Structure 1
Amino acid sequence: MRLFRHENRQRNHGTRRVYAMFELAYTFVDFSAAVCFTIGSVLFFWDSTMTIATWLFLVGSILFAAKPSLRLAREIKLARMGELEKLAERVES
């Protein structure tokens, strides 16, 4: 199983679709983390909103931690799709 190979993404329609879906999820997580940090930063200006600001920073940090997890999950999925194709070719032969 070879991870982080460009050819895994372009193998067929299914792999291109999986890649695109994971990229959308990655972008959503990235954008959400940025929003949490931006709002949290503004809320730190007032003592009365410091607790919610802290929570937003925690959520933003968790979202940033999810990003490499998404990338790894995507690459494993794409690599496995290639392994399934090879297995199907062997069975057909």
Structure 2
Amino acid sequence: MKLFSPSRHQRYISDKKYYAWFELAYTTVDVSAALLFVVGSVMFFSEDWQTPGTWCFLVGSICFALKPTLRIIREFRYIEADDYEDLAKRYENGS
């Protein structure tokens, strides 16, 4: 099984809840980034609002950087649970 696959995270009862919380956080960050980019774009129509619009773009970009970070954190949680078998299979398959 590959990393980031929901099926590999359902070995324990608590895993479904943990996985769901990470998916909720991931989606929240994704929506926040999109909204910040829309607001920043609208702000750029006025010269007076360009500086706050630039800040919206910066914060939105940070949100986009958080998305893969959340997934990596979630995967490390499974590594900490001594779930090395899937990681070894992924390495052997070259994926």
Same fold (TM over 0.5): yes
Match of 2:91 in 1: none
Larger radius of gyration: 1
- How far, CA to CA, are the matches of 2:46 and 2:71 in structure 1? 37
Deviates more, 1:10-19 or 1:24-33: 10-19
What's the C-alpha RMSD, in Å, of the aligned pairs?
1.8
Q: Could you tell me which runs of 5 or more consecutive residues in structure 2 were left unpaired when the two chains were aligned.
A: 84-95
Q: TM-score, normalised by structure 2?
A: 0.78
Q: TM-score, normalised by structure 1?
A: 0.80
The percent of aligned pairs where both chains have the same amino acid is 46
**Compared CA separation, residues 54 and 60, structure 1 to 2 (3 A):** same
Moved over 4 A (4+): none
**Compared CA separation, residues 50 and 5, structure 1 to 2 (3 A):** closer
Q: Could you tell me which runs of 5 or more consecutive residues in structure 1 were left unpaired when the two chains were aligned.
A: 85-93
Give the aligned length: 82
